[in-house]
A and B are shown apart, each in its own frame.
Chain A
Amino acid sequence: MKRSLIKEFRKIVGEKRCLWTPEDLYAYSHDCYARGNPELVLIVKSSEEVSSILRIANREGIPVTPRGAGTSLCGATTPIRGGIVLATNQMNRILEVSQEDRLAVVEPGVVTLRLHQAVESVGLFYPPDPASSAMSLIGGNVATNAGGPRCLKYGVTRDYLMALEVVLADGEILRTGSRAVKDVTGYDLTRLMCGSEGTLGVITRITVRLIPKPECKKTILTSFRTVEEASQMVSMIIGAGILPTTLEFMDHAYIRTVEDLMHLGLPVEAGAMLLIEVDGFREAVERQAKMIESFCRERGALGVQVGMTQEESDQLWAGRRMGTVALMRSAKLMISHDATVPASKIPDMVAHTHRIAREADLKVVIIGHAGDGNMHPIFLLDPSREGEMDRFRKASEELFLFTVRCGGTLSGEHGIGIEKNPFLHLQVDEVGVRTMKAIKAALDPKGILNPGKFV
């Protein structure tokens, strides 16, 4: 990048927030999936700064990749065409939490967990809870339409968005939505931006809908002899019309990993485990928990554990959240898919995944937000093994084909990024691609926003 341009950008954000040493570029070059080569890092503090930056970038045709906490699992955050990384973490004010209107207005750099804490302290609740919520930013959550365990009952990030402020590629500032719970005025641009992975605009302000905080919650842990039994149980629970808050599936290897990490006395002998949470009014929670307990016992669960203390269940959930990354203790590379199928297909999906992995000679661990069919087959890879990455690519394709065939989707929550870009055609047909391209061209004609992703 030309010196004079860097100077121009530096004028906007000041010296301290304009970084271009090799070390800074290195530290901002990656997410959890891949590394790119940015030329400049700008840390922004206001919509106006973002707007000024985009105006110049658009004029010069410089790629701009918005960045949250860089926890994307699919390369969405990786600046693969160089240019500018636009870091949003210092735009981190919670501007309003309104009990009357049950909403919060925040800047994109607020850490998800901080939003949870802020609204819960006044008796409100923001349900979306990606396992990365301790560090992910709300802007990143919106841009990836993040989900999480609680989404079974409460829905995903998209379902809580009321309004956005978005800086478009040419620097214009777009305001979508309103503070009204119902709003059908015009196209739903809020939802268009949600999940757009930084390719349509930079989100600079977010209004989220809140709900009253459930009075209490309860965790139920059930174990099964085999993954098949556990996955059938998931389908049965959903089929029986029971709606827990979460219904998490973990296979044997994952249980082991969490146990090694947290020492909780988990049923490490079990083939699989379901971690179920129910919440709501106390009486309802008690009744639901009993119902689930007897349901699981009657249908052959190995063990059912109810009545954990709050601390025990917090620990268990922490283990669940950290377990995925802890698998790195025994693997050189770990890639977590998030192919999602209708709930009735979960047993098939699990069986299929195992078969595919076996045939490709790959190690796979399966967990999932099983209640909503969002499974995470986590592949533990060793790139130095002959042909391993090729076999992995083929296995992935087979898996995606299977999910699409049974009415599911390539990605339930992690997004497309660069990881799943080559597979997009499996699910989105020509008309779909053309429509997406038209939208992209209309909003970002020069293609400067997070280029190389999506379309």
Chain B
Amino acid sequence: MFTREEALAEAIKCSGCGFCLSVCPVYEAVGIETLSSRGRVDTLRGVLLGQLELSERMMQILDTCLLCRACEEVCPPGVKLHRVLMEGRAKAVRQRGLPWAKRLAFRRLLKDRRYLSRALGYLRPLLKEDRGIPGSKIRHLPSLFSGIAGGRGLPPIASRPLRARVGPVTAPVGNPRGRVGFFSGCYMEFVETGMGDATVGVLSQEGFEVFYPREQTCCGAPALYSGDVEDALEIALKNARAFLSQKLDSVIVGCATCFDCLKKGYSSLSSSLQGEEKEMLEEFSSMVEESSSFLVKKGLSRRRRLSSPNLVTYHDPCHLSRGGAIVREPRELLASIEGLELKEMSQPRRCCGGGGSFGLAHPEISIEIGRWKVQDIQATGAKIAVTSCPGCILQIQEVARREGAEIKAVHLMELLHGAL
């Protein structure tokens, strides 16, 4: 990952100008500089220079970042906050062991069943479950929780995981245009399986044979973003092996966070490897494509239309619009659907506040940030918010429900799939 030197090189670039304060959603929600982008860079620099320790407060500073990277986008000297932060988290794991992130997540989620569904995806890799044998362990999870949580109910996990519904190979419809791998990710695999169906479905509609290897596991983002480099590496290699055993044009991902992890995360992870493993991880990472951008590159072969005209708005997941710079492509796909009108919200690229396990550990902050997003969506008059990340979808749905807002969040691939 990033070395102490790399992290420090980033941190000392900070001039304290504060431009990032204008976009850090956490700062806007909490109004405390210590938990702002500038505060994070500053205090982490303090840690790297040995002026501050990895105290409890420091853990909160590390933990309350969404890693949305909005701050990096406006930073004039170009401080890459995530490098500093990830090194901070990795250092915390080295010094204090892993549990802090998990502990927090557990504590929260056991208290509130709404977070359980989201939690599942993030817990699996932390529990070091093997996604290769679904069923047995996953069934244990709810019972484990229901016991501790005082019987407050089970997470709405899909009754059948995606792999029970989609076969290892899906044939193309019409003229074959190539062979791709499908990386499902935990949400599509266990929670929102319909999005997985739809992504495979669109690829097949578009003439691609879809290979869906069973050996794949979670992308490892929860481990990686918690600073648990060791486990993240293990997971990464496992995924690379699962896909490289076949001849594929690309590996398609429908989840923004997984995409960011497989693309950027793995390539930085590979720097700590050598030889064959390093090459393998780099090769895999280079094959990864986000679903909408892949489809735009290849060009849609079929025309799609909505049965009745509809107004939608599009939310840019942080991990696409920043990490991968995919902003134009989803809009192009939307524009290609007949009967669909896109009305932009005022700040489509502002974080929804989901931020992976962030929502579990800091529900108040997360919901506050989500509320702005929902209001922004409502202001467009659209009843449907389209996006490309199941994590954002869950967050938007949940906050909308709380706020009593009548909006629905859907995955772009679901929309495309249904519009044929």
Contact = CB atoms under 8 A, between A and B. Distances in A.
Contact of B77 (A28, A43, A325): A325
Contact of A19 (B13, B18, B34, B74): B34
12 contacts: A22-B57, A23-B57, A23-B58, A27-B36, A27-B38, A32-B15, A32-B17, A71-B17, A89-B33, A132-B17, A328-B76, A329-B78
Given A19-B32, A323-B76, A26 B19 contact: no
A126 B91 CA distance: 47
Contacts of B36: 27
A414 B53 CA distance: 34
A23 B52 CA distance: 7
Which bucket holds chain A's interface residue count? 20 to 34
Contact of B18 (A26, A71, A92, A328): A71
A69 interface: yes
Interface centre among B13, B33, B36, B43 (most CB of A within 10 A): B33
Contacts of B18: 32, 69-71, 132, 135-136
Interface centre among B19, B32, B38 (most CB of A within 10 A): B32
A134 B55 contact: no
A24 interface: yes
B42 interface: yes
Contacts of A322: 19, 74, 76
A439 B156 CA distance: 68
A250 to B, nearest CB: 15
A21 B55 contact: yes
B42 A27 contact: yes
A37 B34 CA distance: 15
B21 A69 contact: yes
Interface string B36-63: 1011001100100001110101100100
A334 interface: yes
A325 B17 contact: yes
Interface residues of B, number: 29
A100 B16 CA distance: 40
A87 interface: yes
Interface string A134-153: 11100000000000000000
A32 B22 contact: no
Contacts of A46: none
Contact of A26 (B22, B42, B77, B78): B42
A23 B61 contact: yes
Given A326-B76, A326-B77, A26 B15 contact: no
Given A24-B34, A323-B76, 9 more contacts: A22-B52, A26-B42, A27-B34, A32-B15, A43-B31, A113-B22, A134-B74, A328-B15, A329-B77
B76 A261 contact: yes
A28 B22 contact: no
A440 interface: no
B322 to A, nearest CB: 17
Nearest to B23: A134
A22 B34 CA distance: 10
Contacts of A115: none
A21 B22 CA distance: 25
A111 interface: yes
A135 B21 contact: yes
A135 B19 contact: yes
